[in-house]
């Protein structure tokens, strides 16, 4: 059964990534003043555990910050992720050992906080978001201490703090501080780690919405656009929405809509004769997911990520926000 339309006022935020910032900016401009907050993803770490910006990020930054101040301004937020770059340019993604070192002692946390504050103020961001994933259970208490200490320091400077939580986070064992905004990832139901299926479905979103309500405050659910292409030979590739639509034109059949998730799916055969299955989200999918979040009492929605979205989808997102603000 399709979820009922959202009643509460929808608050939209979105990420733009350093590797796809130009098409991300294009999508942002098409959304107009539909976003309350825009996050630039991401600052990483170098081999010495210091914050590190890619050349793509540095190129994107002036345009990003200028756009965030134009028209109906959106809060410009710096996202920091625990990917660690080695001297040869390769990276370890979502490095748990890095987090262990950063949060180990009051001194190490203080040093990390100082670096974060320096970077945020140097570049004129309005807030900071931490996306620290695959953290070891034994580091939970120290990580929560970092969140609390960083929140207080940022607040003193008039800056916000947002924390990204993975879908499997245990809120009972991780004692999260009050104050920061939290955003819970509601995707990865199916993906590169599995066989074909939607990134999320209504049941998952409602369940995670209920989980998020356990935290005091008004927090967000993150929804993922685009999709995946699974080849018969077992390889799965991430797709933007535009790429999925292009591939749909190679399919003999129209995409079908899955009743449990609202996602679209189709099959096609490539030039080598290999069969593929594609699942992806369009504007109708996102609207249904947002309604499912609304049924769970969540009206703050974060979109992962802008870049190569279809014009219809961007239009639908704008309309949903406008309708909810006029009700």
pLDDT at residue 103 tops 80: yes
CB 167 within 8 A of CB 210: no
pLDDT tens digits, 58-91 = 999 999 988 888 766 789 999 999 999 999 989 9
- Look at residue 6 and tell me whether its pLDDT is greater than 60: no
| Residue 5 pLDDT > 70 | no
Domains of the chain, CATH where assigned = 11-224+283-326 (3.20.20.80)
* Angstrom distance (rounded) from CA 293 to CA 301: 8
What is the maximum span of the chain, computed from C-alpha positions, in angstroms?
61
Closest CA relative to residue 263, chosen from 315, 313, 199, 196: 199
Residue ranges in the chain assigned as alpha helix (H): 21-31, 55-69, 96-103, 106-123, 140-156, 202-212, 241-248, 283-295, 311-326
The vertex-150 CA angle with 149 and 152, nearest 5°, equals 70
Q: What is the per-residue pLDDT for 72? A: 66
Contact 307, 17 (CB under 8 A): yes
- Residue 250 pLDDT level (bands cut at 50, 70, 90): confident
pLDDT value of position 154: 98
Query: The pTM is what?
Result: 0.94
Q: What is the pLDDT of residues 134-176, one digit of tens each?
A: 999 999 999 999 999 999 999 999 999 999 999 999 888 888 9
Determine the distance from the C-alpha atom of residue 198 to the mean position of all C-alpha atoms in its chain, rounded to a whole number.
Answer: 16
Q: How many CB atoms are located within 10 Å of the residue 240 CB? A: 20
* pLDDT in the model for residue 287: 97
DSSP-derived letter for residue 263 is: -
């Amino acid at each position: 059964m399709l979820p009922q339309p959202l009643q509460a006022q929808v608050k939209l935020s979105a990420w733009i990534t350093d590797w796809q910032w130009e098409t991300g900016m294009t999508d942002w401009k098409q959304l107009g003043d539909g976003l309350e907050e825009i996050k630039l993803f991401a600052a990483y770490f170098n081999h010495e555990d210091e914050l590190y910006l890619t050349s793509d990020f540095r190129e994107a930054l002036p345009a990003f910050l200028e756009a965030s101040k134009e028209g109906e301004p959106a809060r410009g937020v710096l996202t920091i992720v625990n990917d660690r770059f080695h001297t040869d340019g390769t990276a370890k993604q979502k490095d748990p050992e890095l987090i262990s070192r950063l949060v180990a002692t009051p001194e190490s946390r203080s040093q990390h906080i100082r670096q974060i504050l320096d970077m945020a103020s140097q570049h004129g961001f309005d807030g900071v978001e931490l996306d620290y994933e695959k953290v070891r259970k034994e580091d939970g208490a120290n990580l929560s201490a970092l969140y609390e200490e960083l929140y207080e320091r940022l607040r003193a400077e008039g800056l916000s703090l947002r924390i990204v939580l993975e879908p499997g986070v245990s809120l009972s064992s991780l004692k999260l501080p009050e104050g920061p905004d939290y955003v819970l990832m509601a995707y990865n139901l199916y993906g590169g780690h599995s066989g074909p299926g939607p990134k999320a479905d209504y049941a998952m979103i409602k369940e995670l919405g209920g989980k998020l309500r356990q935290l005091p405050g008004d927090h967000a659910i993150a929804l993922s656009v685009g999709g995946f292409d699974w080849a018969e030979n077992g390889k799965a590739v991430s797709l933007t929405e535009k790429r999925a639509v292009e591939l749909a034109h190679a399919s003999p059949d129209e995409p079908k809509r899955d009743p449990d998730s609202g996602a679209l799916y189709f099959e096609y055969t490539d030039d080598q004769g290999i069969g593929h299955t594609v699942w992806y989200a369009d504007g109708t999918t996102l609207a249904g997911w947002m309604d499912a979040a609304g049924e769970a009492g969540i009206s703050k929605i974060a979109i992962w990520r802008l870049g190569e979205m279809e014009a219809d989808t961007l239009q639908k997102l704008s309309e949903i926000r406008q309708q909810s603000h006029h009700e």
